[in-house]
């Protein structure tokens, strides 16, 4: 694998997430059919700061949580310390750490419930938990909050798919322990690793290789370890390939989010085209865009993400600094 190609795909899955999030944010909570999205970054009236809409290129909770996870993984050479990650997410929620405007302005219900119980971790006197996290294991709590922040895990750990998948599962369970959330992170991690290492020259061939019922990231042919029939179904049956746009659900339900992202990736030929398929669909489109961005970015690479989108992102310095440590981990042999 050419190092330049690998670096571009790793960066693509990191920056692609922020791009999808920032492009989708102005249309979050909107109803499809009631607006026409721009193909440029636009002012975000969904949220405000100091009485004004957020400037074009502003990213939301998806990217903030991803940045916290990236900083945490970088500080431990890729060995996830779940307590450290939880602390960073609480610091974002409470104090605006890794926020584009210095405060948390958007947070999912399941995530907030989890972080509430972790708030005491910010107290240096509080004893460190010795258990493994298992927060919100109910199927009803199957939101997309752990899938939307995922890409630093495969980016840092792709050379060891077993460790990457184990870490993807662990980072999910800090806030979302539903089997659907955990398995969505497992499958998306496997796909991103597949795209990082795909030898095919064209994106179309890479998709045919990775988005394939027989694909596995393990060199010995071990199947992707999926425990839920729903995720096994997405991987094996791949009904998203046959769906029409009217059948695509952009709600916050994790299965719908993953399917919508894969649908857009399969039915387009460029990073931009896929994202433009999603932007008119409204609802939780910033998170669907973020999940599309991390998987599509791994497929196409950083160099195929439109420069006008990358250049329009707010706080590029913060993004670069958080991503750089992950890129370096991902390029280590």
| Whether residue 279 has pLDDT greater than 80 | yes
Percent pLDDT > 70 in the chain is 100
Q: What is the DSSP string of 13-57?
A: HHHHHHHHHHHHGGGTTPPTTS----SS---EEEEEETTEEEPTT
**Angle (CA) 321 97 82, round 5°:** 85
Judge whether 21 and 290 are in contact, CB under 8 Å.
yes
Structure tokens that stand for 225 in this block: 């370890």
What are the C-alpha distances in Å from 176 to residues 14, 149, 192, 261?
A: 21, 12, 20, 19
Distance CA 311, CA 141 (A): 36
The answer to whether the annotation marks 84 as part of a ligand binding site is no
The β-bridge partners of 194 are: none
Quote the CA–CA distance of 73 and 70 in Å, as a whole number: 5
Q: Give the class (CATH, top level) of 3-331.
A: mainly alpha
Q: How far apart are CA 272 and CA 314, in angstroms?
A: 19
Q: Is 2 annotated as a binding residue?
A: no
d(CA 295, CA 123): 36
Residue with tokens 């979302």: 176
Mean pLDDT of the chain: 98
User: What number of other Cβ atoms are within 10 A of residue 307's Cβ?
Assistant: 8
- In tens, the pLDDT along 49-62 reads 999 999 999 999 99
Query: Is 130 annotated as belonging to a binding site?
Result: no
- 284 in a known ligand binding site: yes
CB 196 within 8 A of CB 153: no
Mean pLDDT on 300-306: 99
Q: Among residues of the chain, what percentage have pLDDT more than 90?
A: 99
pLDDT value of position 260: 99
Is 62 marked within a binding site? yes
pLDDT in tens, 92-139: 999 999 999 999 999 999 999 999 999 999 999 999 999 999 999 999
- Inform me whether the pLDDT recorded for 74 exceeds 80: yes
Inform me whether the pLDDT recorded for 162 exceeds 80.
yes
Three-state SS at 143: strand
State residue 1's pLDDT score. 79
Q: Which two tokens stand for residue 272?
A: 């931009």
- Closest by CA to 292, choosing from 248, 231, 244, is 248
Contacts of 237 (CB under 8 A, 6+ apart): 213
Backbone angles phi, psi at 14, to 5 degrees: -85, -55
Give the pLDDT of residue 71. 99
The per-residue pLDDT for 333 is 74
pLDDT at 175 over 80: yes
6: Cα within 13 Å, side-chain hemisphere: 19
Q: What is the DSSP letter of 127?
A: P
**31: Cβ contacts below 8 Å, ≥ 6 apart:** 282, 283
């Amino acid at each position: 694998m050419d190092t330049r190609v690998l670096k571009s795909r790793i960066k693509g899955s990191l920056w692609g997430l922020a791009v999808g999030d920032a492009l989708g944010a102005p249309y979050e909570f909107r109803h499809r059919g009631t607006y026409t999205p721009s193909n440029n970054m636009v002012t975000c009236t969904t949220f405000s700061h100091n009485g004004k809409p957020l400037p074009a290129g502003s990213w939301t909770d998806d990217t903030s949580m991803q940045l916290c996870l990236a900083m945490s993984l970088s500080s431990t050479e890729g060995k996830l310390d779940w307590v450290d990650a939880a602390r960073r997410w609480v610091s974002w929620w409470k104090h605006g750490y890794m926020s584009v405007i210095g405060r948390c302005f958007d947070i999912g219900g399941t995530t907030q419930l989890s972080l509430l119980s972790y708030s005491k971790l910010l107290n240096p006197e509080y004893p460190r938990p010795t258990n493994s996290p298992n927060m919100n294991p109910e199927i009803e709590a199957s939101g997309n909050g752990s899938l939307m922040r995922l890409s630093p895990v495969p980016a840092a750990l792709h050379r060891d798919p077993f460790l990457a998948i184990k870490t993807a599962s662990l980072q999910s369970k800090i806030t979302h322990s539903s089997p659907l959330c955990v398995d969505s992170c497992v499958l998306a991690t496997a796909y991103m690793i597949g795209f990082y290492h795909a030898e095919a020259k064209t994106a179309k061939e890479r998709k045919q290789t990775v988005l394939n019922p027989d694909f596995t990231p393990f060199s010995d042919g071990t199947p992707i370890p999926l425990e839920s029939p729903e995720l096994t179904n997405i991987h094996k049956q791949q009904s998203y390939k046959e769906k029409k746009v009217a059948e695509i659900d952009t709600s916050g339900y994790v299965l719908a989010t993953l399917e919508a992202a894969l649908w857009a990736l399969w039915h387009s030929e460029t990073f931009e085209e896929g994202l433009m398929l999603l932007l008119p669909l409204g609802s939780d489109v910033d998170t669907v865009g973020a999940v599309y961005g991390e998987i599509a970015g791994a497929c196409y690479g950083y160099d195929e993400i439109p420069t006008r989108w990358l250049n329009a992102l707010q706080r590029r310095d913060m993004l670069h600094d958080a991503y750089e440590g992950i890129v370096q981990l991902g390029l280590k042999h």
